[in-house]
Structure 1
């Protein structure tokens, strides 16, 4: 059996274009940032499909299990001095023809397949309970089982010192391995922690905080079968993917998910028929909007106002009706609390509106 990580089927209005392949190698990645001045590594048309590699920056937590020749090249050839201001390895950017500021880039994620059968979780210095654990950092290596679509802890070790350098390589054969989580199996749900378009700014924008361009949203629902709508900010959109995960809970409490490289198939479509302020997620069952801020209360208000906008402007409800519906049918949750700019998401069931798909003008 294979991992359950492919969409059940493409939407009926999908018209696939050309299929492109994008490997992650030193020449096709940018480490730790979005930047509109970065030259695109691939140019595509609206409707085209891209099969791309997304590499975890935590592959060095056990290089024997999570490296291959191409990943080793990235870690060895991208200078440590060029891995800033964020931490994530981003594949891209991809230039989409005819995408202009004010448009929406619709990204249909069709397949996410683990590259290896292993991933890493770090209880990090940026984790929510770091001080409560005596400022100790611990790595847990997980093994994936494609027959049960689960992950179980293979072993754990205490990280020596402080995990600060993006792409740190630990020689796990030399570390003190400890048993962990005996008898526990975690559902595997591959997704991208970080993806988005280039912001309209000068210079580098860190991949660590999420924002209106997308970025490090860390919502585990951005997997196969999901559709993301990103507000385009610069010509060509300049879309990149990274920070692949195979499992994560809402909150991402320790600072990381199960970080594991993925092979991702997705379709990009330029939408000029509607607009939306923030990254919008559509799953087979829900519409999900996001709010981001250093203060969770502010993020909650942003998510509330954007859901109100979705219901009034794109579903045709009055503001009063939308407000009532949000109180009785919407589920609010904490996406993550560890990326500096924290995240709230709010889910609205799609089936309560009847047989309608997609987002209206």
Structure 2
């Protein structure tokens, strides 16, 4: 099986990037990912406020992705179906935040980073609160936080989002999910990274980790003429994802995308799709820290006739 090592990181989605791997449609391959700080906070001494301030002052390429992958036969106008088969969690992760990033500057004075154990498919964390030590054990729920193809012309930093994908932080994008990405350049140039052992809606924070992602891709010709944003599906749900600022703008873009998908998939009118969504869908935030923010619409497949 072909594999990309995590040393092949980049901080941008770009049509000018040199591919590090070429795959055929249907071929299974592996991508090793680095954590969102490039492995710079893996030891306790690297997680103190002083060490974090130094890291910030020295500068580092945050939110790295691995790739790009050249997909044979992918041409502008096609759709790339990325099938996420498996994600292996590292034995350690971390969560962390900076005061100026969280809209909570009046509450948080120093940067915080805590190391977290990942053992037996569980996230295990000890923390001090109220003068006591507490133990928190939660099951892993792996997520690919950042995934996308190369835009046609612009170079997009991996912290950001757009119609190409990017820093979506959508919890459903994990094992068993297929995400449909637009192809804007020959070969699509797929990259991914920023994997999480766990993450909630809105990504107040996540358990960042290294991972090994097993996946395959398919090139879809003339799959859709209406797709403006991103589509994905699991065994249980259809999802549409859109990105904008403010959040409510992203919400309505994602709703419009789901209406278009139901038109194509179900043969409904826009009005019929809108009526169905009013009683059968959920709208949830993905990433709300570094705009354009992401919102998603979810429809249970069992409710579709």
Q: What TM-score do the two structures reach when normalised by structure 2?
A: 0.88
Residues paired across the two proteins, number: 290
Q: 2:140 aligns with which of 167, 176, 188?
A: 188
Are residues 1:121 and 2:95 paired?
Answer: yes
Offset at 1:181? 6.8
Alpha-carbon contact 1:65-1:118 (below 8 Å) kept: no
CA distance in 2, matches of 1:264, 1:285: 21
Cα shift readout 1:64-104 (whole Å, capped 9, x = no counterpart): 799xxxxxxxxxxxxx77x65xx222111110111011100
The match for 1:261 is 210
Q: Is the 8 A contact 1:130 1:136 kept in 2?
A: no
Contact 2:126 2:136 in 1 (8 A): no
**Which one of the candidate residues 15, 35, 45 is aligned to 1:36?**
15
1:151 counterpart residue number: 123
SS where residue 153 of structure 1 aligns?
A: strand
Partner of 1:215: 166
Return the offset for 1:205: 1.2
Q: Is the 2:202–2:288 contact (alpha carbons within 8 Å) kept by the matching residues of 1? A: yes
Bigger Cα displacement from structure 2, 260-269 vs 331-340:
331-340
Could you list the runs of 5+ residues in structure 1 that have no partner in the other structure?
Answer: 1-18, 67-79, 157-178, 355-361
Cα distance in 2 for residues equivalent to 1:257 and 1:132:
22
Q: Which has the higher strand share?
A: 2
Give TM-score scaled by structure 1 length.
0.75
Residue 45 (structure 1) aligned with residue 24 (structure 2): yes
2:81 pairs, out of 106, 111, 124, with: 106
Residue of structure 1 in register with 2:273 after alignment: 322
1:150 and 1:287 mapped to 2: Cα distance?
27
RMSD over aligned Cα atoms? 2.3
Contact 2:29 2:214 in 1 (8 A): yes
- Of the three residues 108, 111, 114, the one matched with 1:137 is 111
Structure 1 residue 117, shift from structure 2 partner? 1.2
After TM superposition, the structure 1 stretch with the greater mean CA deviation from structure 2, 204-213 or 229-238, is: 204-213
- In the alignment, the residues of structure 2 paired with residue 181 and residue 190 of structure 1 have an alpha-carbon distance, to the nearest angstrom, of 26
Find the aligned partners of 1:340 and 1:23 in 2 and give their Cα distance.
29
Could you list the per-position Cα deviations for residues 234-273 of structure 1 after superposition, in whole angstroms to 9, with x for gaps in the alignment? 11000011111111100112xx410000001000110103
Distance 1:35 1:180 in 2: 49
Q: Is structure 2 residue 70 aligned with structure 1 residue 95?
A: yes
8 Å CA contact retained: 1:192, 1:241? yes
The Cα shift of 1:278 comes to 1.5
Are 2:5 and 1:23 equivalent residues in the alignment? yes
Partner Cα distance (1:272, 1:201) in 2:
22
What is the aligned counterpart of 1:201 among 153, 162, 166? 153
Mapped contact 2:126–2:134 kept (Cα < 8 A): no
Question: Judging changes above 3 Å, is the alpha-carbon distance between structure 1 residues 181 and 100 closer, same or farther for their aligned structure 2 residues?
Answer: farther
The residue correspondences of 1:200-349 to structure 2 (distance < 5 A) are 200-202=152-154, 204-253=155-204, 256-275=205-224, 276-349=227-300
Deviations 1:145-171 (A, max 9, x none): 21xx32122468xxxxxxxxxxxxxxx
The change in CA–CA distance for 1:122 and 1:251 in structure 2 (over 3 A counts) is same
SS at the partner of 2:136?
coil
Once residues 88 and 285 of structure 1 are traced to their aligned partners in structure 2, the CA distance between those partners, rounded to angstroms, is: 29
CA–CA distance in structure 1, aligned partners of residues 296 and 101 of structure 2: 20
Cα deviation, residue 126, structure 1: 4.9
Kindly state the Cα deviation for residue 350 of structure 1 after the two structures are TM-superposed.
0.9
- Whole-Å Cα distance in 1 between the matches of residues 275 and 45 of structure 2? 51
Q: Deviations over 1:131-186 (max 9, x none)?
A: 1423322112111121xx32122468xxxxxxxxxxxxxxxxxxxxxx99713223
| SS across alignment from 2:254 | helix
Rounded to whole Å, the distance in 2 between the matches of 1:180 and 1:274 is 56
Structure 2 runs not aligned, ≥5 long: 47-57
Listed one character per residue, the Cα deviations across residues 195-251 of structure 1 (whole Å, up to 9, x for unaligned) are: 11011114x311112211111100111111110100111110000111111111001
